[in-house]
């Protein structure tokens, strides 16, 4: 399974947050799955850390090492992703999440997110 982590899913996973269910944690720990985190999520994290709206348990610089430890691939934004983004209906207003939706559509990824607004789009979302 090819899985795209929503920003909160990634953060809750690395910070051992109780809002992340055991089921989702087990899914992410299954080595048969390919895990991806969009550069868009890193950008969102950087913005929130820079504004003081998010405090990480680790430093921002340590995130790259965490990717390696957890075997999470960085997913760049491609031209094709942006083409899909342009035509997305506006069911979801968050531009970061809309790009994740476009990337999930373009790369046939399953999104792991608690955000049910993703369900308005032709993607598969997993949570509880």
- 79-121 confidence digits (pLDDT tens): 999 999 999 988 877 999 999 999 999 999 999 999 999 999 9
- 13-70 confidence digits (pLDDT tens): 999 999 998 999 999 999 999 999 999 999 999 999 999 999 999 899 999 999 999 9
What domains can be seen in the chain, in order of their start residue?
A: 2-126 (3.40.50.1010)
Query: Can you read off the two tokens belonging to residue 104?
Result: 């999930």
CB atoms under 10 Å from CB of 36, counted, come to 22
Give the span between the Cα atoms of 67 and 81, in whole angstroms.
22
- For residue 90, the model assigns a pLDDT of 83
pTM for the predicted model, two decimal places: 0.93
């Amino acid at each position: 399974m090819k899985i795209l982590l929503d920003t909160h899913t990634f953060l809750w996973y690395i910070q051992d947050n109780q809002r992340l269910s055991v089921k989702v944690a087990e899914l992410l720990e299954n080595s048969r799955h390919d895990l991806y985190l969009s550069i868009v999520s890193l950008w969102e994290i950087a913005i929130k850390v820079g504004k003081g709206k998010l405090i990480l348990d680790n430093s921002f610089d340590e995130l790259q090492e965490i990717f390696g430890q957890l075997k999470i691939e960085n997913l760049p934004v491609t031209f094709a992703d942006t083409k899909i983004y342009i035509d997305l209906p506006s069911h979801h207003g968050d531009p970061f999440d809309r790009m994740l939706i476009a990337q999930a559509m373009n790369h046939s990824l399953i999104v792991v997110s608690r955000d049910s607004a993703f369900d308005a789009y032709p993607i598969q979302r997993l949570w509880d």
